[in-house]
Amino acid sequence: MLLYYLDLAGVAVFAASGVIAARDRGLDAFGLLVVAAVTAIGGGTLRDLLLDRHPIFWISDSWYVIVIIAAAALTVAYLRFWPAPRTPLLVADALGLGLFALSGAQVAEAAQCPPLIVILLGTMTGVTGGVLRDVLTAQVPLILRREIYATAAVSGIAVYLGLGAFGVAQPIALAVGMLVVVILRLLAVRRDLHLPALGRA
Amino acid sequence: MLLYYLDLAGVAVFAASGVIAARDRGLDAFGLLVVAAVTAIGGGTLRDLLLDRHPIFWISDSWYVIVIIAAAALTVAYLRFWPAPRTPLLVADALGLGLFALSGAQVAEAAQCPPLIVILLGTMTGVTGGVLRDVLTAQVPLILRREIYATAAVSGIAVYLGLGAFGVAQPIALAVGMLVVVILRLLAVRRDLHLPALGRA
Amino acid sequence: MLLYYLDLAGVAVFAASGVIAARDRGLDAFGLLVVAAVTAIGGGTLRDLLLDRHPIFWISDSWYVIVIIAAAALTVAYLRFWPAPRTPLLVADALGLGLFALSGAQVAEAAQCPPLIVILLGTMTGVTGGVLRDVLTAQVPLILRREIYATAAVSGIAVYLGLGAFGVAQPIALAVGMLVVVILRLLAVRRDLHLPALGRA
């Protein structure tokens, strides 16, 4: 039940982020909707495919598609009548990252995956929607930019697992984990926070 | 049975579109074949994965791979001996879009998905092959261009569902839906038809 | 058992190739790890999804993730203290291509796929990790470059199937097939070997 609302919320914010990313590409209404839908359902679909959960979360329940259409329409309307906030894509993406990273982690945990794999699956669930969006709209994936990104997802999931190990109730642990992801990510964008880059000699 | 021939035809035209898109990239014969094969089977594979239909349509039947090889070879030969038509990629892509959009819709309908999801799944089945082709050959995805694209798939599937609701026989409804996709798409390319773009204030 | 070690080795070299490809992109440690992990598990995950093998190879066994982390860390350390070899990405990629192409072929063969499909599935298993890596790091996919690439995978798998048909023991046939892929690919890079390009008139 909790998972259901997590997924609905993640779908809504990622749909909005898809519209924002695609808005200057000259797409018509249905083109925007397809980009929004793929962004919105990408991460959760990968999660369900990898864990062999069928039917895939959005396939037997029309509400997901309705939420995508509504979120996309509201985003279009908002962008038309109000000045866009400076970083709307980054905010919507941060929320989607947090929601889906924790939803992926929770499902992987329920499927008895070991902790390292809970972290990997949660992170992949969180980042996939955004990567698909960026590839579809031919932009450099956010995950490649310099500020904390995957690190935010990994940290939030680790906090969730840690709190669970200390006996904190799951809804609270999920909420705290999600907040960690979103706050880390937004701070990173605001203040250009980043860990030291690796790989360069 | 009908679905089998739809898939074979879609595979053939998408394989041709893969060869056309990759032809100037200096790929050798097997490189071209891999691009052609991924383009050809991408949409139907996603359809089967999402709906948990196993074995995936091309996995237990060699005919699909044979058709891909034949279509790719014919396309190479054609391009070598005749002047390329002005928009061969767009024509092959339009046919593939129509065939796979309707095949995806038909399978989703048979799996009892609600209408909105039939439309989404059919559209994703139709556009995936082309998106993979464009990403693999490092081009801007067709779906991002300005003319009607996703809209063609959505409209054709809606016509198919509408005709079915009025009791029209399925093979006829499928054929009409497919024609709607192909004609809308080709008209869009010819005349630069497009719906108003959204998202820009 | 043999397959298990093939997969572990493929995961390690593809993880290294992911780190090498992403090293100049300014990613932090977890960003690098995510790129390394996706590159490492991409091909085998596609293989398992397409053949409906669950759990996916890395989902119930933490060793894969541990190997990815170790391989990524060693690669980072190596790149920091030694001068990079001239073509480290190409060497790691060639090894991964060979290992996963043959592992994919072997699994497809065990699933009773016909030979053409064994070749296609093996090739897709081999090339997917590298394609995901190149898309994630926004580079032109290696598979599109001019030298022998898909051809190396196809040839190695064909040799493996041929040796099997002549009654050669499977571990030997696998090893020879793998060597064929790696040697063909490395020779191609060293000497700029390529088959004639097709598609241009």
Q: Does A118 touch chain C (CB under 8 A)?
A: no
Q: Which two tokens stand for residue A86?
A: 């400076």
Q: Tell me, what's the pLDDT at B88?
A: 73
Handedness of CA B104, B108, B110, B115 (dihedral sign): negative
Which residue in A103, A89, A196 sits closest to A148, CA to CA? A196
Q: Tell me, what's the pLDDT at B139?
A: 78
Q: Which two tokens stand for residue B152?
A: 């063609």
Q: Tell me, what's the pLDDT at C147?
A: 67
Q: Tell me, what's the pLDDT at A197?
A: 65
Half-sphere exposure in the Cβ direction for B189 (13 Å, CA): 18
Q: Tell me, what's the pLDDT at B97?
A: 93
Partner-chain contact B117 A58, CB within 8 Å = yes
pLDDT in tens, B143-195: 777 667 889 999 999 999 999 999 999 999 999 999 999 999 888 877 766 66
Most confident residue range from B40-49, C81-90, C145-154: B40-49
**CA–CA gap between residue A94 and residue C198 (Å, rounded):** 45
Respond yes or no on whether the N-terminal peptide bond of residue B85 is cis (omega within 30° of 0): no
**Residue among C19, C49, C138 whose CB faces A199 most closely:** C19
The one-letter code for the residue type at A29 is A
Q: Scanning every residue of chain A, which has its alpha carbon at the shortest distance from the alpha carbon of C20?
A: A199
Q: How far is A141 from chain C (nearest CA, A)?
A: 7
C123 in Cβ contact with C101 (< 8 Å): yes
Residue with tokens 């739809």: B6
- Our CA dihedral for B156, B158, B160, B163, rounded to 10 degrees, sits at -130
Q: Tell me, what's the pLDDT at B200?
A: 47
**Which chains does chain B touch, 3 or more C-beta pairs < 8 A?**
A, C
Partner-chain contact B138 C150, CB within 8 Å = no
Q: How far is C138 from chain A (nearest CA, A)?
A: 7
Q: Tell me, what's the pLDDT at A40?
A: 95
H-helix or E-strand spanning residue B108: helix B88-110
With a cut of 80, say whether residue B37 has pLDDT above it: yes
A81 contacts in chain B (CB < 8 Å):
201
The number of residues making up chain C comes to: 201
H-helix or E-strand spanning residue C112: none
With a cut of 70, say whether residue C201 has pLDDT above it: no
Q: Does C55 touch chain A (CB under 8 A)?
A: yes
Radius of gyration of chain B measured on its C-alpha atoms: 16
Q: Does C33 touch chain A (CB under 8 A)?
A: yes
Q: Scanning every residue of chain B, which has its alpha carbon at the shortest distance from the alpha carbon of A20?
A: B199
With a cut of 80, say whether residue C43 has pLDDT above it: yes
Q: Which two tokens stand for residue C11?
A: 């995961």
**Residue among C28, C49, C136 whose CB faces A196 most closely:** C28
**CA–CA gap between residue C55 and residue A147 (Å, rounded):** 34
**Which chains does chain C touch, 3 or more C-beta pairs < 8 A?**
A, B
**Residue among A24, A28, A137 whose CB faces B148 most closely:** A28
pLDDT in tens, B90-143: 888 889 999 999 999 999 999 999 999 999 999 999 999 988 888 888 777 777
Q: Does B196 touch chain C (CB under 8 A)?
A: no
**Residue among A135, A140, A143 whose CB faces C31 most closely:** A143
Of A77-86, B31-40, C190-199, give the lowest mean pLDDT range. C190-199
C34 in Cβ contact with C20 (< 8 Å): no
User: What is the overall mean pLDDT for chain B?
Assistant: 88
Q: How far is C195 from chain B (nearest CA, A)?
A: 6
B201 in Cβ contact with A80 (< 8 Å): yes
Q: Scanning every residue of chain C, which has its alpha carbon at the shortest distance from the alpha carbon of B44?
A: C50
Q: Does A79 touch chain C (CB under 8 A)?
A: no
Q: Scanning every residue of chain A, which has its alpha carbon at the shortest distance from the alpha carbon of B196?
A: A28
Which residue in A17, A28, A29 sits closest to A99, CA to CA? A17
**CA–CA gap between residue B105 and residue B126 (Å, rounded):** 9
A62 in Cβ contact with A68 (< 8 Å): no
Q: Does C105 touch chain A (CB under 8 A)?
A: no
B171 in Cβ contact with B56 (< 8 Å): no
**CA–CA gap between residue B56 and residue B69 (Å, rounded):** 19
Q: How far is B26 from chain C (nearest CA, A)?
A: 5
Higher local confidence (pLDDT), C145 or C135: C135
Domain boundaries, chain C: 2-191
Of A2-6, B34-38, C151-155, give the lowest mean pLDDT range. A2-6
Q: Does A51 touch chain C (CB under 8 A)?
A: yes
Confidence of residue B69 (pLDDT cuts 50, 70, 90): very high
With a cut of 50, say whether residue B201 has pLDDT above it: no
Query: pLDDT tens digits for chain A (201 residues)?
Result: 778 888 899 999 999 999 988 887 778 888 889 899 999 999 999 999 999 999 999 998 999 999 999 999 999 988 888 766 667 778 888 899 999 999 999 999 999 999 999 999 999 999 999 888 888 887 777 777 766 788 999 999 999 999 999 999 999 999 999 999 999 988 887 776 666 666 543
Q: Does B127 touch chain A (CB under 8 A)?
A: yes
Q: How far is C78 from chain B (nearest CA, A)?
A: 31
pLDDT in tens, A106-160: 999 999 999 999 999 999 999 999 888 888 887 777 777 766 788 999 999 999 9
Helices (H), A23-148: 29-50, 63-81, 88-110, 115-136
